[in-house]
Chain A
Amino acid sequence: MAMKKFINDPKDLTKELLEGLALSNPSRITLTADGLVVSKSLGDMKRVHIVTIAGTGHEPAISGFVGKGMVDICVPGDIFAAPGPNKCVEAIKMACDASKGAGVLFVVLNHSGDMMSGNMAMEMAEELKLNVRKLVTQEDISNAPRSDAGNRRGLVGALAMYKMASAASREGKSLGQVYDISEKFSLNMATLAVAMRGATHPQTGDFISVFAEDEMEIGMGQHGEGGGKRTGIKTADETATIMCEALCADLNIKSGERLMVIVNGSGSTTLMEQLIVFRKVHRILEGKGVSVVASWVDDILTVQEAAGFQLCLARMDDQLLKYWNEPCDAPYLRVVG
């Protein structure tokens, strides 16, 4: 079956989508000549700046979350492919200069290519004596236990973490403090994904994962790589229950705690479905004596037209809740002050 997408030459996908993003958000971001997505708020005050990297093809993530109160610079790669280290260093340097001495928090989601580039970029940044610290996010519970977190993939949780980091930086927190607050959030979040239909790679038209009519898989890779358990199609409530229980167990959630709940659509799963799932998650948590103090239900970090979603639970406290409610103005996350 031929791929049905509104695209032009597959070679130009990244360039064209980023141009569209910049043109539709002129007050929020700039697309530089060499493809960096930079917040218009870069350098607006002496503060820690937030830099991150990501493959494209996951829109609105991550470039759609560059803006005031979120990411300062995103280094986009190509479809599902991390950028090279040279561009990462360029972005870190630009952010460092803009930070007026406060330094840079460099966030990398744990995927092979991103980690290789990120590590190489940090070596180069250290040689240049740039004031930068790298934080890796890795919260997918499906491919490794918490004790082996180094092998967990970074999924949607990072998107909420950027907001925490940025709000902390705007409060005047130092690089060490912004790092600690962000790390605290990242170590207390857990995500699980489920998929029932794979996607096509927009450059090659090849299928990324194929499911039978009556199959779904809990614990999918970010780009459709298999790795979880295939089962028959379950109802929204059954699926939500399995996933929510697994996440609560991983985080050892206790009665009286406060959580953020993120339901992140993979691309073709309707908001209708996401909301139905959220409803069940909310009920399960209430039943456990847990308060849902923050929620985000949307297509955030997608995989083309994949059907499925990620469920992320993250521990909240007074500080994080305050940060979550701070204003921000990125193309795909806006919080009014």
Chain B
Amino acid sequence: MVKFVEYGHLRNMLSAAAEEIERNKDYLSKLDEIIGDGDHGTTISKAMTIMTEALAAGPEDDLKALLKNISRVLLGFAGGATGPLLGSMFTGLSDGMEAGERIDAAVLCRMFQASEKAVLKVSGAAVGDKTMIDAFIPAVAALCRDAATGDISRMLEAGMQAAQAGAESTRALMARKGRARNMAEKSVGLLDAGAMSISFLFKGFHKGIQA
């Protein structure tokens, strides 16, 4: 049972997340092509590359600072809406922990809740608007529900499953935010690329914690 997220775990989680996105980037762009401008896969893949570079730059002994560095580079690249959203996600993860604190289940939950708050502030979307939020909010809720077990691997598995279900739920929704909003009724029946990205990220987090 994984009780703490140390540097090695975090590195593996983020690397696996980047791999999931890379593996699925053409699919993500295809989704975005139908109800957006066709570049979400490329953009988030670029974000993952930048994230991976920042991850390699460290610091390994200060996870709060490391997460903050990642958020800074994500806010620094030209990624349309993806930059501010992902950047805020990491700002929140960083803000949700104290410097030098060991990340146990309770802290991880707190970090993801701060992350959710930061993303919502930038996004302006709610569940049901057919955005990444439809996957992210359920993922955080599911992850925190299992925090009492102290089992981080189990938390991330719950998060992954909820993210997947949340992403799948966007199929039936009509877009109310972002470029897809311009499609309105025509967006019903198609998956949202942003929500699918979140689902892939959480799949990577879960895969990485088990490595």
Contacts and interface: CB of A to CB of B under 8 A. Distances in A.
Given A84-B75, A112-B177, A206-B33, A201 B80 contact: no
Contacts of B122: 116, 119-120
B39 interface: yes
A116 B180 contact: no
B75 A112 contact: no
Interface stretch (B13-21, B54-62, B81-89): B81-89
A83 B79 CA distance: 6
A49 interface: no
B179 interface: yes
B182 A225 contact: yes
A221 B82 CA distance: 19
B178 A143 contact: no
Given A87-B76, A116-B122, A143-B182, A225 B36 contact: yes
A224 interface: yes
A221 B42 contact: no
B43 interface: yes
A87 B79 CA distance: 12
Interface string B162-201: 0000000000000001111111101000000000000000
A119 B123 CA distance: 11
A230 B20 CA distance: 37
Contact of A201 (B38, B72, B183): B38
A60 interface: no
Interface stretch (A72-80, A274-282, A326-334): A72-80
Contacts of B178: 112
Given A86-B72, A225-B179, A207 B39 contact: no
Given A85-B84, A86-B72, A120-B122, A78 B79 contact: yes
A215 to B, nearest CB: 14
B29 A113 contact: no
A244 B78 CA distance: 36
A81 B47 CA distance: 13
A85 B77 CA distance: 9
A150 B183 CA distance: 17
A118 B133 CA distance: 20
Contact of B39 (A14, A80, A120): A80
B182 A201 contact: no
Given A201-B37, A226-B186, A14 B177 contact: no
Interface in B85-104: 85, 87-88
A82 B81 contact: yes
B63 interface: no
B135 interface: no
B79 A81 contact: yes
A119 B88 CA distance: 13
Nearest to A111: B179
Contact of B78 (A84, A111, A221, A226): A84
A235 interface: no
A78 B78 contact: yes
A141 to B, nearest CB: 13
Contacts of A116: 81, 83-85, 122-123
A204 interface: yes
Nearest to B79: A81
B81 A112 contact: yes
A223 interface: yes
A14 B78 contact: yes
Given A84-B74, A120-B122, A221 B83 contact: no
A35 to B, nearest CB: 8
Nearest to B85: A116
Contact of A120 (B42, B80, B82, B84): B84
Chain B CB within 10 Å — which of A82, A112, A116, A153 has the most? A112
Contacts of B39: 79-81, 201, 203-204, 206
Nearest to B77: A84
Nearest to A143: B182
B84 A117 contact: yes
B35 interface: yes
A207 B183 CA distance: 16
A64 B79 CA distance: 21
A81 B179 contact: no
A74 to B, nearest CB: 12
Given A81-B78, A120-B88, A227-B182, 18 more contacts: A14-B78, A76-B78, A78-B80, A81-B82, A82-B79, A84-B75, A84-B77, A87-B76, A87-B78, A113-B79, A204-B38, A204-B39, A204-B42, A206-B30, A208-B37, A208-B38, A225-B36, A225-B179
Instruction: Enumerate the 3 nearest inter-chain pairs by beta-carbon distance, A residue then B residue, closest first.
Output: A113-B80, A227-B182, A77-B78
10 contacts: A78-B79, A112-B177, A116-B123, A120-B122, A143-B181, A151-B181, A206-B29, A223-B179, A225-B182, A226-B186
Interface of B: 29-30, 33, 35-39, 41-43, 72, 74-85, 87-88, 122-123, 177-184, 186
